[in-house]
Structure 1
Amino acid sequence: MSPSPVPPHHTVVKRASTPLPVSFINLHAEGVRDVSLDIRAGEVLAFVGQENDGASHLLRTAAGLDHPRSGSVLVGGEPVRRTDDRCSWTPRDADLQPAHSLQANLALGLNKGSSASEGKAKIAELLDLAGLHRFAKLLPTDVTAEIVRRAALARALAGGPGVLLLDHPFAAVEGAARTVLHNVLQTLHRALPTTVLLATNSMEEAVRLADRVVVLGRTAAEDVTGALSIREIRDGQRKQR
């Protein structure tokens, strides 16, 4: 099945919450040390590193799934001590329920307090935004990896999170299908502004999607956009092509 285009027009979904700032303060966790970083509300920030450079652990710490060895993470000015429904975490394997349709999987992301009518309207709009209407009744095993990850992105936003944590969300998809997923994420973020933290191994992907890029390695995290703007990096990539 070839990648399906994202609809050029869509209905803007009403948000349940507003974007929240995130701060890492002198954080020491698995794979990273001495990370201090402020992410503005509504910003898209990408962590770029190799498999063991700590990006996934930073996201899991922000989600309250892992605990740092020292230091702290603030979400909306409050310390993260446990899982928090203001944050939505999407693992690299998408983690959809195989026995549920894509539409039913999206419904699992709704706030528990949503009424039946609100939930139905939100799911319909998310299906539209992610270009999933014709796949809505299918199981995850009946569609391509690209479609599964569209559904995972839409589900992650169903509850109107203040922070979206994406742990290598496109790692299993390559080529044109990966480009479609980039477009889907950008469409969703325009319609449903939230703070996005993205872990990726691809600098090209990070530059395309993020407002800022932070490179992880053996030393403390380095904000490469401090010396070189995203626009300059993008221009350089175009010239190389």
Structure 2
Amino acid sequence: MSETPRVRVDDISKHFEGETGPVRALDGVSFDVADGEFVCLVGPSGCGKTTLFRIIAGLESATSGAVYLDGERVEGPGPDLGLVFQEYHLFPWRTVADNVGFGLERQDVPASEREQRVDDLIEMVGLSGFGDTYPRDLSGGMKQRVALARALAVDPGLLLMDEPFGAVDAQTKKMLQSELLDIWSETGKTILFVTHDVEEAVKLADRVVVMGKNPGHIHEIVDVDIERPRSRSDDAFGTYYQRILDLIE
């Protein structure tokens, strides 16, 4: 890992006018994510996780503070940020291959290179043979694999994921978690992953950023020092799980 963080969240605050007066959604949020690191963001409902995600992604502006990606200030969405949401946001009129290749088309990548990249990514996310399929014919888990492949297609410096497995059943979720860890290991991507699921955070993350609310702030950052693959039945897993749960509650 390089000494310069891939992501620097520097003293982010977000205030807005509510029905009963000013609301402080975030106050003085700061943390770094190293190159190649997998960091999960957890916290209670209303702590500003999604607001912070949108600010890091350049989809929303902070009242004060700044976000830096590779030392450059994030001013808006760009190709260095790959976004995956709970809702799949696939284009229903485009096939799997065309959805995955969308960002490459916008970057004017030559067709032959684009097709090879798309084929490789479809294989990576376990959807070989589904390139000509439309989203309406895919399960929720398959749609999320397409969304992940599309985010990876432009080779972003940071993969930002907001509750990406929140809409699938427990069995599919477990499978997608394992597949994501495999892809992370294979690609060396930096991942910032927002979740409300403490077990998911302990299973996936190198570090867990635990947020508190009123206003949203960093409560504690927990280093998860367990070898992968991790099992809920391990004593160490249970200890981290309980520690993070206690911090949230």
Paired position in structure 2 for 1:25: 10
Return the offset for 1:68: 0.5
Whole-Å separation in 2 of the counterparts to 1:54 and 1:184 = 28
Q: Name structure 2 gaps, 5 residues minimum.
A: 16-24, 239-249
Paired position in structure 1 for 2:234: 238
| TM-superposition CA deviations, 1:105-143 (whole Å, max 9, x none) | 101132614211111111111111111013222111111
- Kept in 2, the 8 Å contact 1:20–1:195? The answer is no
Counterpart among 106, 127, 130 of residue 132 in structure 1: 127
Paired position in structure 1 for 2:217: 220
Tell me the TM-score normalized by structure 2: 0.81
Tell me the TM-score normalized by structure 1: 0.84
Counterpart secondary structure, 1:134: coil
Q: What is the alpha-carbon root mean square deviation over aligned residues?
A: 2.2
Whole-Å separation in 2 of the counterparts to 1:103 and 1:139 = 9
Task: Kindly indicate whether structure 1 or structure 2 has the higher relative contact order, using CA contacts under 8 Å at least 6 residues apart.
Answer: 1
Computing the radius of gyration from Cα coordinates, the structure with the larger value is 2
Counterpart amino acid of residue 196 in structure 1: I
Counterpart among 159, 162, 187 of residue 164 in structure 1: 159
Return the offset for 1:237: 5.3
Aligned residue pairs total 220
Whole-Å separation in 2 of the counterparts to 1:26 and 1:189 = 28
Give runs of ≥4 in structure 1 deviating > 3 Å: 234-237
Q: Name structure 1 gaps, 5 residues minimum.
A: 1-18
- Kept in 1, the 8 Å contact 2:82–2:156? The answer is yes
Counterpart secondary structure, 2:212: coil
Identity within the alignment, %: 32
Return closer, same or farther for 1:209/1:76 CA change in 2, 3 Å cut-off.
same
- Kept in 2, the 8 Å contact 1:129–1:187? The answer is no
Return the offset for 1:235: 7.3
- Kept in 2, the 8 Å contact 1:20–1:162? The answer is no
